[in-house]
Amino acid sequence: MAQKHQVVVIGGGFGGLETARRLRRVDVAVTLIDRRNFHLFQPLLYQVATGGLSPANIATPLRSILRKQKNCQILMGEVVGFNAKQKQVVLRDKVLQYDTLVLAAGAGPSYFGNDSWETYAPPLKTIEDATSIRGRIYTSFELAENETDPERRKELLTFIVIGGGPTGVELAGALAEISHHTLVHDFRHINPKEARIILVEAGGAILSTYPSKLTESAARKVQELGVEIRLHTMVTGIEKDRIELKTPSGIEHIATHTVMWAAGVKPNPLSQVLASEIGIDCHKSGRIPVNSALNIEGHPDLFVIGDIAHCEDHDGKPLPGVAPVAIQQGRYVAKTIQARLRGDLKPEPFRYQNRGSMATIGRKAAVAEIGKFTFSGFFAWLLWLVIHLMQIVQFQNRLLVLFQWSYSYFTYNRSARLITQPTSELDQEFNQDLAPDSKQS
């Protein structure tokens, strides 16, 4: 492998994994680097966060996925720098040479300059985020069951989701199902149906990237589920026991212990590291600008794809940070590398084929836009189920998810609603309330 063309891929997400897999029959040596040892199917993270699925259902070890690909090695490590002149990737414990570098490091949450909010309003980007949110949700119900003060109980049963995009809507819808169905018979001193779920959106509509017909349909369904929608509302402060909102009618404070962040993303910090190394400026979004070949201009050996790349379509609009974009870009990069090895130095430019988008709202409710056609309700929900099921990488996980979904559909149960570790102040309070003598034992 050392004598072959060295392709180093950073990131085992949708784009990086697709690049590596598409190079399986190409005469190159591929090195895939990721800080984690698994590929995560992020679109279903919200189901882990709400107890519908377990982490293993949506995560697959990278070595398992690529075990039969002889021209690919996997390194679990953290990239800390680059040496573009020497064509080197710098890890914490070693330096790797490359002939072609593919940066597909993804994105993380953005708190728009208020990073301290993350302590009280966790994002939903990793398995750890999902299990932390799951713990906060179910801990709140447990604390409420043990609380005798009505006001305190009301605070504990108030859940706020920040961001009216697909993730926020999916979270809010799942919370409504939990409170109205899953937990309704599980407690003796509280009525889970009394839970207050608030979806906060700074813009004028939820799911604003969809046609107005679908956004209106989604809003109606969300409200039917019992979720309050706050439009034109901005978050101005988050503390451990309350949130401050700037609404059209003024400043409002809501007492709550459970806030979830689904409002913004920013590229992996490696975008700034690489941009600084080669002397270019990132786009105002923080992404690295790339040309029509997904290269950094003037650096044909450097590809940037996925959430970390600022790539424009033929109308000059930036492509969204969604899985289909990253997958198609990974496929294109692999094809381009192969073409260049054959001597074709001017491959066709990348063109994103938008095959549609969809978001689920709740049980038997979703919205979908496919080409010129729009769907909502039960049919859109079935489409969402089938497409997401088929996109899961490992066949075994598809079967597990199908079984879990079928079981949940008929029973309203969520079998993975576990509180696994005390990761927040709320969890610590939970332990103190239920085990007041624990410090003495």
Q: Give every CB contact of residue 318 below 8 A, 6+ residues apart in sequence.
A: 283, 285, 287, 310, 311, 312
- In eight-state DSSP terms, residue 369 is E
Cα distances (Å, whole numbers) of residue 293 to 152, 298, 305: 57, 11, 10
Count CB-CB contacts under 10 A for residue 405.
17
Look at residue 403 and give its three-state secondary structure.
Answer: helix
The string over 127-138, giving b where at least 16 C-beta atoms fall within 10 Å of a residue's C-beta and e elsewhere, is bebbbbbbbbbb
CA dihedral 124, 127, 131, 134 (to 10 degrees): 40
- Give me the phi and psi of 259, to 5 degrees please: -120, 135
Q: Looking at 170, 177, 201, 369, which residue is catalytic? A: 170
Cα distances (Å, whole numbers) of residue 257 to 174, 202, 243, 267, 343: 18, 21, 9, 29, 60
Encoded amino acid at 79, one letter: V
Gyration radius of the chain over CA positions: 23
- Give me the phi and psi of 437, to 5 degrees please: -100, 15
Catalytic annotation present for 170: yes
Which H or E run includes 73? strand 72-76
Encoded amino acid at 101, one letter: L
Give the catalytic positions in this structure: 170
